[in-house]
Amino acid sequence: MNKLAQPVVTLDGPAGSGKSTTAKEVARRLGFRHLDSGALYRALTLALLEEGTPPAQWVDLTDEDMDGLPIRVSSREADFVIEVAGRVVQAELRSPSVTEHVALLASLPAARRCLLYLQQVAGEKGGLVADGRDMGSVVFPEADVKVYLVADLHERARRRLEESGISPSNVDVERESKVIAERDRQDSERELSPLREPSNAHRIDTTSLNFNEQVEEVVALVEALYVD
């Protein structure tokens, strides 16, 4: 284990692989905080949309522009609270317009630099389960436990739809699979910090695992740190 009294655990993987829900529950069971890095990309997107900056101009924004956006991340006991323009945001981060524009934002070097700093500050003290696309590869390359979650495309689509309260038909699953495959493509082909499996990550295929099983697999990897 590194010199931190409390470990850093990273969970990366493609859209719909169950990273965020798994990370949140792993953090709860271990008494760590959960950092949902996708939510930070969404918060920056929301801030820009609210400011009225047209998405076509986002590519021209400088580091100063990004750093000047009114987002704040503060550490609470179990997780982090994200504020945009002084108000706590949660459901808004999942709105269709944020979801539509977040991949563009995530492809911008200035946005990634701005969030890299915020995320590393959040992880400074350890005791953290961070999920995203580049947690183990770029943001916390020295993490104590790195996990890469994968699952079959159709299974990921089915889970996504069920999470939003739908009992999906085969046609729904087929349609959602196309949307997820396109997001996977954008995340993997992005020039900066593309979605990559860290070389020293534990790969867990969750296709045939239930939620409790996948949480337990990750918790067991962390608990193994404490055994000589």
Considering CB under 6 A, how many residues would be counted as binding ligand DC?
13
Applying CB under 6 A, which of residues 4, 21, 38, 179 lies at the interface with ligand DC? 38
Q: Which is nearer to ligand DC, 94 or 223 (CB)?
A: 94
Applying CB under 6 A, which of residues 33, 34, 42, 159 lies at the interface with ligand DC? 42
Applying CB under 6 A, which of residues 133, 146, 158, 159 lies at the interface with ligand DC? 133
Q: Which is nearer to ligand DC, 38 or 168 (CB)?
A: 38
Buried b / exposed e over 188-226, threshold 16 CB at 10 Å, is: eebeebebbebeebeebebeebeeeebbbbbbebbeeee
Least Cα distance to 146 among 77, 69, 199, 110 occurs for: 199
Mention every residue, 6+ apart, whose C-beta is less than 8 A from residue 201: 10, 12, 136, 146, 147, 148
Mention every residue, 6+ apart, whose C-beta is less than 8 A from residue 44: 66, 69, 71, 105, 111, 114, 115
Applying CB under 6 A, which of residues 32, 41, 58, 148 lies at the interface with ligand DC? 41
Q: Which is nearer to ligand DC, 97 or 169 (CB)?
A: 97
Applying CB under 6 A, which of residues 132, 140, 156, 219 lies at the interface with ligand DC? 132
- Return the residues of window 86-115 that contact ligand DC according to CB under 6 A: 102-103, 106
Rounded to whole angstroms, what are the CA distances from 90 to 42, 59, 82? Answer: 10, 26, 8
Least gap, CB of 40 to ligand DC (angstroms): 7
Q: Which residues bind ligand DC (CB under 6 A)?
A: 15, 37-38, 41-42, 102-103, 106, 132-135, 187
